[in-house]
Amino acid sequence: MQRGALRQMSAGDQVLLVHEDQKTFLVELTPGRTFSTHKGAVAHDKLIGQPYGTQIVNSAGAPVFALRPIWVERMMKVDRRTNIMYPKDVAYLLARLGLGAGDRVVELGSGSGAMTMALAHAVRPGGRIYSYDRREDFLELAARNCARAGVGEDEVEFRLRIDGEDLEPEVDAVTCDIPEPWQEMGAAHAALVGSGRFAAATPTFNQAERVAACLAGGGFAMVQTTEVLVREILARPGRTRPAHRMVGHTQILTTAVKVFAQQPDESPEPQ
Amino acid sequence: MQRGALRQMSAGDQVLLVHEDQKTFLVELTPGRTFSTHKGAVAHDKLIGQPYGTQIVNSAGAPVFALRPIWVERMMKVDRRTNIMYPKDVAYLLARLGLGAGDRVVELGSGSGAMTMALAHAVRPGGRIYSYDRREDFLELAARNCARAGVGEDEVEFRLRIDGEDLEPEVDAVTCDIPEPWQEMGAAHAALVGSGRFAAATPTFNQAERVAACLAGGGFAMVQTTEVLVREILARPGRTRPAHRMVGHTQILTTAVKVFAQQPDESPEPQ
Amino acid sequence: MQRGALRQMSAGDQVLLVHEDQKTFLVELTPGRTFSTHKGAVAHDKLIGQPYGTQIVNSAGAPVFALRPIWVERMMKVDRRTNIMYPKDVAYLLARLGLGAGDRVVELGSGSGAMTMALAHAVRPGGRIYSYDRREDFLELAARNCARAGVGEDEVEFRLRIDGEDLEPEVDAVTCDIPEPWQEMGAAHAALVGSGRFAAATPTFNQAERVAACLAGGGFAMVQTTEVLVREILARPGRTRPAHRMVGHTQILTTAVKVFAQQPDESPEPQ
Amino acid sequence: MQRGALRQMSAGDQVLLVHEDQKTFLVELTPGRTFSTHKGAVAHDKLIGQPYGTQIVNSAGAPVFALRPIWVERMMKVDRRTNIMYPKDVAYLLARLGLGAGDRVVELGSGSGAMTMALAHAVRPGGRIYSYDRREDFLELAARNCARAGVGEDEVEFRLRIDGEDLEPEVDAVTCDIPEPWQEMGAAHAALVGSGRFAAATPTFNQAERVAACLAGGGFAMVQTTEVLVREILARPGRTRPAHRMVGHTQILTTAVKVFAQQPDESPEPQ
């Protein structure tokens, strides 16, 4: 019942409206309101009470699909004042970090909060994101974007990053989307549990080179640098081909695992 | 305390041992046993009781890192009798499906169970995977691989796929890793909740073309076909370059969302 | 002397003017004329008599480079009414065809003449291109573009393609940039010398699949299908990265070599 | 007649033998000799006098194609003691350099002579390659490989590179396949005619970054850095897909054009 009830669109829900041309719009359903573009209008009341997935017809006679948004779609709709991480990169990093329910994560560089939302989703329920930024305005923007996406204060804690201060300790993962991640290596290592995972996204090869060198020399194993390319295929009967344009570059991803030398006094051999 | 206790390696744990050359081995810790390769040996007892992330020295004097394996590493270590999905593709599909805690998923094509493990991880806790295969031997192999990875019967239900039978109803997502996914489109559509997500992985462009055409014509919106390429970068001070070899192809990914036309009698307007 | 003389820009020469933003313009030098954009003007007379490679300053005080255009630059400047082959694909095909001075080539699909210019350049001196098209208007457009690029009637012969008619015989290579290259396989095979090279460029995988199948079954060996991707790298001190956008697809290239079974009566054994 | 006569295989010719599995062998036809692999044998006398393109049957009953090798195939068969340039990169560079019959080229880094052969082919007839190396043994190896490929002393001149010495002047292009191309920028600029083209191939991003910076600051325009990726497509009826493995990296290519500021005293205006 509960599941069924969740599948009706209700006032206050954020719904993804999809036009025939694949354009998508994230709309909060409000009784009496109308969603309009130059391609036609849809009264919110026509959606409220209908099941998710419903195809309706707008005022111009064109079909519109009303979908339940997933985190990938929400993160692409944030109010941006920074570059945001692309879903292809976020998806890959979440896998390489091995994140799951209950995990605790330090995020360095809240930015617009897009990655924060992805991290929060990945550690639900019971997990927690400690998201740091040096700029108060980014912390506020990220918090606002997260709140709008239903990511609450019980899930994410935004903190001003102050040089030299310790990060939240005993976390399962640390992510970096900051210009100089090498400055945070020591703090990241200290914050991570043993075998905790580290990830940095950097736009240039030079930054990736420096991050990798710092990781390799600073208590991390399995240092790997990769780039993820996604190519859209236009699959159409009898004339399938890749899309003419593609994103040639977003970020270079560097991941690693925290390790530490065995302490002599912790050694079990003498026992 | 609980978290700290979990961070000690215990007898019975599966531990990822990493050599200097980045080769990895998944080992179940057993008192009295020794893990040996031509690069040296490690007594399990040297690891039991130590924290995860410990770097020890093997009998040949070489460093070995003992890590807590994540699902990506576990899925690459399954006993394979089929091609398995690559992490790059699985990561992308998990994101495109929007999976999270509590979701219910139909998997068509259990294969070796590698994807099953990834799906089970993504819907923890409270979710459930219904994994179908036409071959009993694959169901058994997949179940064995899952059990070894700690994915239990409360998380995954393996079922023999019989033509014409309904799939588990009211699921949030359906995944296909089978040769002819178009044969399952109707059953998949029937099984999905409204706005539920569909994904198929197919090796050839011809299959992707046919899947996409069936989806577009059969009650699905947002049909997208993509390929994911991951390029390893050898990030080394002063001489950074991509790796000479790369994986040029694994699978083509097709995703879509279940939609349905509004039923006249369900329409709220006349009320 | 001769070489030196050629290196002065003269009235009537086509010169490539390059602005600071890398925008290029192909200009025919005419005494008394001025080349103007919103970025400033250059009097042709300031260039005539100067050596190629000269950097001058335009009326807005911005630097402009005057270069001798090469065929790649000329082909990108043709008056287009069709898609043209990209230099990356043309360069690869020229290599795979092994073209050199004196070679004779059949081109199927004159289009805008861009590929024709590249072929003509590759077989200079002494070679000859027989360029066919089914449309008179394309033949005229291609001839006009070639003439403008200095490719004369002694180098290229444009011919209307009429179904069923033989192609120019005894050619070293046949290229196809037409929608249904498989219809021309028999004619191409008949036209080629033994060990002559064949190349087709097609936008879709479906076409490439059909071309390759026809070649493999129709007297061709070494059938290979490839795609060429070129990624621009923004190489800048301390912040080198690929360009954000790239061309994700142009054409799929299929190449092959004409072979034939040994004729019994030609066999040298009985001798 | 001349053309027809050239199309017979003669004693002394180098012939490319192609097996069914696409393996290729470059064989010099010698009366009385036999070419043998574990897949069967072919008597050279069965080929001599036959036309190029002939398919014969070897001693094991398998088909073998006898083809006229093109420069791409010859360069892949050189006796290598260095990494050689890949055809994909060579093809792209030849196009970007705009090379044609009669051009004069300085090659820095003879290596095994593979690139030298490609350059010599591109400037035939009438052109000339000045190929420099710091190592006598490479000069000898390259000369031997070139001679075997029919590239003679009238086409290529091998020279020991001595620091500080001028390069051959007034050349149309300079290519670099050496570890530190930035050391040769000044000499390259001095050697090139105005609007002459420069190209460097370097394995790492760091080298490309440094080359590009030196070019941009040292009298070159249109500095471009690119990488070329070629993906093999297995085009087969109903099951077309990319090959699983691909070459992920060979070299990064940097090209530029020589320019120079207009000399006040050369200016034609006051006259």
Q: Is residue C19 part of a domain?
A: yes
Scanning every residue of chain B, which has its alpha carbon at the shortest distance from the alpha carbon of A18?
A: B222
- Helix (H, G, I), strand (E, B), or coil: what is residue C129? strand
Kindly report which listed range (A73-87, A144-158, D42-56, D146-160) carries the lowest average pLDDT score. A73-87
* D197 and D259 Cβ atoms separated by less than 8 Å: no
Average pLDDT, chain D: 93
Using the 3D structure, point to which of D19, D37, D69 is the last residue of a domain.
D69
A247–C241 C-beta distance less than 8 A: no
Token pair recorded at residue A40? 């036609």
φ, ψ dihedrals at C6, nearest 5°:
-65, -20
Q: What 3-state class would DSSP assign to C191?
A: helix
Assign D190 a pLDDT band (cuts: 50, 70, 90).
Answer: very high
For residues A85 and A251, is the Cβ–Cβ distance under 8 A? yes
Give me the mean pLDDT over the C165-188 stretch.
97
DSSP state of C166: P
Domain count, chain C: 2
SS3 call for A166: coil
Across chain B, which has 271 residues, the per-10-residue mean pLDDT values are 64 96 95 95 96 96 96 93 91 97 98 97 97 97 96 96 96 97 97 98 98 95 97 97 97 97 55 37
What is the token pair recorded at A53? 């997935």
Residue-range definition of the domain harbouring residue C106: 73-266
- Is the domain of D101 the same as that of D217? yes
Checking B9-12 for CB contacts under 8 A at 24+ apart, the result is B9/B47, B9/B48, B9/B49, B9/B50, B9/B51, B9/B52, B9/B54, B9/B66, B10/B48, B10/B49, B11/B44, B11/B48
Identify whether residues B248 and B133 lie together within a single domain: yes
**What pTM value is reported for the model?**
0.94
Residue D271 lies in a domain: no
- Which domain CATH number covers A160? 3.40.50.150
In a domain, residue D157? The reply is yes
Flag if D257 and C222 touch (Cβ within 8 Å).
no
CA-CA-CA-CA torsion sign (C193, C196, C202, C207): positive
Q: For residue D56, which phi and psi values (nearest 5 degrees)?
A: -115, 175
d(CA C140, CA C130): 14
Contact call for residues B200 and B175 (beta carbons, < 8 A): yes
Q: Which of A46, A69, A92 lies at the terminal end of a domain, its last residue?
A: A69
Q: Is C195 within 8 Å of C206 (Cβ atoms)?
A: no
Return the residue matching tokens 């360009």.
C243
Nearest to A47 by CA among A62, A72, A67, A61: A67
Q: Is C87 on the interface with D (CB under 8 A)?
A: yes
Q: What is the mean pLDDT of chain C?
A: 93
From C24, C46, C69, give the residue that closes a domain: C69
- The C-alpha of B232 sits at a distance from chain D's nearest C-alpha, in angstroms, of 8
In a domain, D28, yes or no: yes
CA distance, residue A142 to nearest chain B CA (Å):
21
- Residue C130 half-sphere exposure toward CB, CA atoms < 13 A: 18
Query: In terms of CA atoms, which chain D residue is nearest residue C210?
Result: D237
Determine contact, residues D175/D196, Cβ cutoff 8 Å.
Answer: no
Give the per-residue pLDDT at B154.
Answer: 95
Indicate yes or no: CB of C232 within 8 angstroms of CB of D224.
yes
Which of A249, A252, A254 is the mutation pick for testing C, counting most C CBs within 10 A? A249
Long-range CB pairs of C75-78, under 8 A, 24+ apart, other chains included = C75/C114, C75/C115, C75/C117, C75/C118, C75/C149, C76/C114, C77/C24, C77/C26, C78/C112, C78/C113, C78/C114, C78/C117, C78/C145, C78/C148, C78/C149
Helices C114-122 + C136-148 axis angle, to 10: 50
Q: Is residue C271 part of a domain?
A: no
- Look at residue C263 in the predicted model and tell me its pLDDT: 62
ipTM above 0.90, yes or no: yes
Residue D251 pLDDT grade (very low, low, confident, very high; cuts 50, 70, 90): very high
d(CA A196, CA C107): 61
Task: Compute the CA torsion angle D91, D93, D95, D100 (nearest 10 deg).
Answer: -100
Task: List beta partners, residue D225.
Answer: C233, D254
Which 3 state secondary structure label does DSSP give C197?
strand
Could you tell me if B8 and B135 lie in one domain?
Answer: no
List the single residue in B with minimal CA-CA distance to C227.
B248
| Same-domain pairing of C63 and C170 | no
| Of D238, A226, D231, the residue nearest B202 (C-alpha) | D238
Is there a contact between A56 and B262 if contact means CB atoms under 8 Å apart?
A: yes
Does residue C269 have a pLDDT over 60?
no
Q: Which residues of D touch C208 (CB under 8 A)?
A: 233, 235, 240
- Check whether residue D49 and residue D145 sit in a common domain: no
Task: With respect to residue A271, please indicate whether it lies within any of the assigned structural domains.
Answer: no
Q: How many whole angstroms from its chain centre is CA A141?
A: 15
Please state whether B122 falls in left (phi above 0), alpha (psi between -120 and 50) or beta: alpha
Tens digit of each residue's pLDDT, chain A (271 residues): 344 445 899 999 999 999 999 999 999 999 999 999 999 999 999 999 999 999 999 999 999 999 999 999 999 999 888 888 999 999 999 999 999 999 999 999 999 999 999 999 999 999 999 999 999 999 999 999 999 999 999 999 999 999 999 999 999 999 999 999 999 999 999 999 999 999 999 999 999 999 999 999 999 999 999 999 999 999 999 999 999 999 999 999 999 999 998 765 444 444 3
Is there a domain that residue B271 lies in?
A: no
Q: Give the list of residues 6+ apart from residue C139 with CB closer than 8 angstroms, or none.
A: C110, C131, C133, C158, C159, C160
Tokens of C188: 């191409």
3-state secondary structure (DSSP) of residue A211: helix
The pLDDT tens digits for D193-239 are 999 999 999 999 999 999 999 999 999 999 999 999 999 999 999 99
Residue B1 is predicted with a pLDDT of: 33
**Same domain membership, residue C182 and residue C106:** yes
Both C92 and C64 in one domain: the answer is no
Asked if D235 has any chain B CB less than 8 Å from its own CB, the reply is no
Cα separation of D77 and D87, whole Å? 12
Co-location of A115 and A231 in the same domain:
yes
CA angle D251, D252, D257 (to 5 degrees): 130
Whether B152 and B126 have beta carbons less than 8 Å apart is answered as: no
Residue A246 falls within a domain, yes or no?
yes
Q: Are residues A110 and A55 in the same domain?
A: no
Secondary structure (3-state) at B233: strand
Residues D143, D13, single domain; the answer is: no
pLDDT of residue B266: 46
Q: Which burial class, exposed, middle or buried, applies to D267 when counting CB atoms under 10 A from its CB (0-12, 13-18, 19+)?
A: middle
State which amino acid sits at residue C61.
G
Query: How many angstroms separate the Cα of D64 from the Cα of each of C122, C195, C259, D10?
Result: 30, 13, 10, 17
Residues C57-76: tens digit of each pLDDT: 999 999 999 999 999 999 99
Residue D143: the pLDDT is: 97
Q: What's D22's domain CATH number?
A: 3.10.330.20
- Can you give the pLDDT at residue B263? 63
Work out the minimum CA distance from D243 to partner chain B, whole angstroms. Answer: 6
Residue of B nearest to D244 (CA): B249
Half-sphere exposure of B73 (CA within 13 A, CB side): 22
Q: Which pLDDT band, with edges at 50, 70 and 90, does D81 fall under?
A: confident
The verdict on A98 and A185 lying in the same domain is yes
Residue A245, chain C, CB below 8 Å: the answer is yes
Largest CA distance in chain C: 81
Bridge-based pairing state of the strands D104-108 and A252-258: unpaired
Partner B, chain C 179-218, Cβ-Cβ below 8 Å: 205-206, 209
Same domain, D27 and D85: no
Q: Which residue has the tokens 């070329």?
A: D228
Which whole number is the average pLDDT over D118-126?
Answer: 97
